Structure 1
Amino acid sequence: MNYKGKDFNVAMDLLSKGKAREALAWAEALIESEDESRRLDGFLCRGLVYEDGGEGVCVDLHVALDSYRRVSLIAPSSVAFSNLARVSMKLKDFSRAAKYLGIAAEFEMTPEVILGLALFHEESSPFDGEAAKRLYIRAACKGRFAGFFGYSRVARKLGERGRAFAVDCIRVLLGPAIAVLVGKKSQYQF
């Protein structure tokens, strides 16, 4: 799935500046388009706006979930189902999140899907710290800083302060190399 429409980029720039109401106006205009790729951009943008909220728009995870569901119907992909899983976890609907993560993994086991699975094991009940650590380190090995941070956080929850410190040191030492080799993708999160 490739979101590179000019209007989508304008809306994302507005959203990154906290101007959610203006970004939402762009999203709604895109949704009204006859062009399916523009509607796709519009639903994705609307989902992002309502997921994070901002100036003039309150967070509404149910609207975000509906928007991402529409994205998954127009262009099913790992990214589309990862978005559905992330919002489901925010709604504490872990069974639905697990379903969406499974579908996302069937499309492609991206580092972001791995991070989502790790977060699922960390936040759902029962807490499975060992599974979360394995997945976080796997994401870290694929160049995602969130994998290092997640591993450290879970290790601390498990009382493994030495391991957490070691992973933090590795992150600091390897950070510049990862940033150069992987680029902006290294900062991607679930």
Structure 2
Amino acid sequence: MKYTEILNLAEKAIAEERIAELLNLCEILIDSEDESVRPSGYMLKGIAYEIGGDGVDQDLEKAVGYYRQAVYLQPNAMTYVFMARASMKKGADSFASALHYLKEAEKLSYVPELDIAFGMCYENQPEQDLGLAKKHYLKAALHGRFHGFFGYSSVCKKTGQYGRALLVDSVRIIIGPILFLLLGKKASSGI
């Protein structure tokens, strides 16, 4: 089976929450003679344990471990973002680790999803920094990511800026179709 076929099947398995099937696909990639596909296998295995379901228990420690293995084999900003996301799900004590992973991702390359993750981290960590959260969400929104608009609006509501939140939501609704035409699926990508 070709690498692209496996990735397409993995994407479908994730969408349909067939996690046991996803784990089988991961093993094909990890056991491949082609070492270049192994990082994808570990990343997908991290996703499987982060999501859980279909007879597979959610295990955030395992998820972070598999993401770490993927990033060790092939440093990648999005893998660090996924590690940060799984860390944030672990609870209040893990936000420092999540922030560390995001800063490592930032050193590698910029992707708008990085700003969404920074925004989520600053918004939800025990000692919130809503100003920084807003800054990062705005940057993601300016790169056409809907999650940036939603995050910015959410922080505005938390800080009592209801008029600004309404304005941002209105702009998102008005330019939404244009963003989908220009960016396609990227507009709705989050973390």
1:5 counterpart SS class: helix
Q: Structure 2, unaligned stretches of length 5 or more?
A: none
Deviation at 1:34, TM superposition (A): 2.4
Structure 1 residues 124-163: aligned runs within 5 Å: 124-163=125-164
1:179 counterpart residue number: 180
1:71 counterpart residue number: 70
1:91 counterpart residue number: 90
User: What's the RMSD between the two structures over aligned residues?
Assistant: 1.3
1:26 counterpart residue number: 25
1:9 counterpart residue number: 8
Q: Structure 1, unaligned stretches of length 5 or more?
A: none
Which 10-residue stretch deviates more, 88-97 or 165-174? 88-97
**Which stretches of structure 1, 4 residues or more, deviate above 6 A after TM superposition?**
none
1:123 counterpart residue number: 124
CA contact (8 A) 1:5 1:41 kept: no
2:21 counterpart SS class: helix
1:62 counterpart residue number: 61
CA contact (8 A) 2:39 2:71 kept: no
C-alpha distance after superposition, 1:103-127 (max 9, x if no partner) = 1011112101111111111011311
C-alpha distance after superposition, 1:28-83 (max 9, x if no partner) = 22212222123222111111111111212121111111110011011102112111
Work out the CA distance in 2 between the residues paired with 1:172 and 1:35.
45
Normalised to the residue count of structure 1, the TM-score between the two structures is 0.93
Which 10-residue stretch deviates more, 40-49 or 65-74? 40-49
CA contact (8 A) 1:14 1:22 kept: yes
Deviation at 1:8, TM superposition (A): 2.4
Deviation at 1:100, TM superposition (A): 0.7
Work out the CA distance in 1 between the residues paired with 2:7 and 2:62.
18
Alignment length, in residue pairs?
A: 187
Work out the CA distance in 1 between the residues paired with 2:6 and 2:50.
19
Work out the CA distance in 2 between the residues paired with 1:183 and 1:8.
20
2:61 counterpart SS class: helix
For residue 79 of structure 2, what is the amino acid of its counterpart?
A
1:38 counterpart residue number: 37
Identity among equivalent pairs (%)? 37
Work out the CA distance in 2 between the residues paired with 1:9 and 1:62.
26
CA contact (8 A) 1:12 1:45 kept: no
For residue 31 of structure 2, what is the amino acid of its counterpart?
E
